[in-house]
């Protein structure tokens, strides 16, 4: 990665230009830079898909936003810069009480988790929700939203510090998934039934083992593959336990349903303003230190969310 000056982008039709105050990191940024993500922009490119800042310019056809508005947004790349462009359908007013760092850390993980839990898994009050990587950004959001939806939450993580973080987010039980013992522990906690919904951003062995502790009729949410291995499943397991393997690719859904993002943001804003969800930022760096920030994220040294802070005057 190289820190360099490029031209300030001009907004096109339906786009908003944002003078960024903060930009949040996601694990898929690491995968994209490595060429392992499903979206592969041509090199050279500027990554980054979550920002907060002030509207600086608007393109033709933009309504609802004006210069000077405080917003959070999901640009289609280019977020790790002083200025970025975002389609107006993925630009949202900043909820009251948020600072720049929290606002940047909010949209992708909470949108993803609400889409997964509410719309894909139809999580119901009283069900058991198993959240893997509970100390990650998506894990944090899934724990909080699961609780807001009335579920009982079990979270996994790989260290004592991360388990404590998951507990601080509201998980009723926390389990170390660095060994396979968590499978039997989930069965024990749930009275032998297993988890009704499994939220899996890890893939690999975690996905494989989750099929052994999911409840009959359960839903296993495929969120991502942070482990690096895309798993497969024996179809007889799906049949014998009547389970559903459910994809939850928020970005693809929004492309097909352009108004969905704004509707989801409204629901999330209401949860935020009622105090039922909160994004926690554990690490921050100046924008120019993006390589160090990405290294920390790749090495699993981030709890919750990490952000880059920008000051363009």
Distance, CA of 227 to CA of 207 (rounded, Å): 10
Token pair 């390589």 in the structure block, residue? 291
Phi, psi of 52 (to 5 degrees): -135, 150
Phi, psi of 147 (to 5 degrees): -65, -40
Q: What's the predicted TM-score (pTM) here?
A: 0.94
Nearest to 196 by CA among 247, 150, 126, 129: 129
Token pair 């393109």 in the structure block, residue? 59
- For residue 224 the two structure tokens come to 């991502």
Say how many C-beta atoms besides its own lie within 10 A of residue 165's C-beta: 24
- For residue 116 the two structure tokens come to 């997964």
Distance, CA of 49 to CA of 80 (rounded, Å): 8
Question: Helix 137-148 and helix 160-168: axis angle, to 10°?
Answer: 30
The pLDDT, as a whole number, for residue 219 is 98
Q: What is the pLDDT tens value at each position of the chain, 313 positions in all?
A: 888 999 999 999 999 999 999 999 998 899 899 888 878 899 899 999 999 999 999 999 999 999 999 999 999 899 999 999 999 999 999 998 899 999 999 999 999 999 999 999 999 999 999 999 999 999 999 999 999 999 999 999 999 999 999 999 999 999 999 999 999 999 999 999 999 999 999 999 999 999 999 999 999 999 998 888 999 988 998 999 999 999 999 989 999 998 999 999 999 999 999 999 999 999 999 999 999 999 999 998 999 999 999 875 4
The pLDDT, as a whole number, for residue 313 is 46
Distance, CA of 238 to CA of 9 (rounded, Å): 48
Domains observed in the chain: 15-106+279-309 (3.90.180.10), 109-251 (3.90.180.10)
The pLDDT, as a whole number, for residue 132 is 98
């Amino acid at each position: 990665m190289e820190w360099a000056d490029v031209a300030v982008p001009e907004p096109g039709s339906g786009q908003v230009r944002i003078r960024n105050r903060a930009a949040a990191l996601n694990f898929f940024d690491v995968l994209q830079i490595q060429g392992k993500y499903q979206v592969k922009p041509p090199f050279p490119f500027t990554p980054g898909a979550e920002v907060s800042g002030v509207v600086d310019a608007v393109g033709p056809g933009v309504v609802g936003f004006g210069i000077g508005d405080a917003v959070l947004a999901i640009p289609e790349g280019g977020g790790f810069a002083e200025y970025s462009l975002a389609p107006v359908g993925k630009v949202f007013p900043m909820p009251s009480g948020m600072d720049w760092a929290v606002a940047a850390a909010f949209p992708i993980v909470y949108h993803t988790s609400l889409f997964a839990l509410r719309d894909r898994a139809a999580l119901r009050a009283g069900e058991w929700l198993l959240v893997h990587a509970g100390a990650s950004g998506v894990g944090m959001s899934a724990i909080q939203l699961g609780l807001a939806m009335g579920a009982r939450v079990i979270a996994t993580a790989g260290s004592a510090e991360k388990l404590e973080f998951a507990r601080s987010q509201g998980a009723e039980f926390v389990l170390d998934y660095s060994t396979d013992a968590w499978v039997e522990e989930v069965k024990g906690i749930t009275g032998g039934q297993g988890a009704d919904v499994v939220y899996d951003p890890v893939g690999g062995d975690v996905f494989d083992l989750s099929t052994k502790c999911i409840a009959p009729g359960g839903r296993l949410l495929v969120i991502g593959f942070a482990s690096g291995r895309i798993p497969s499943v024996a179809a007889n397991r799906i049949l014998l336990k009547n389970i559903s393997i459910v994809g939850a690719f928020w970005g693809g859904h929004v492309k097909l349903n352009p108004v969905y993002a704004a509707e989801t943001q409204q629901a999330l804003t209401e949860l935020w303003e009622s105090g039922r969800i909160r994004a926690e930022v554990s690490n921050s760096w100046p924008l120019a230190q993006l390589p160090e920030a990405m290294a920390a994220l790749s090495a699993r040294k981030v709890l919750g969310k990490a952000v880059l802070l920008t000051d363009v005057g």
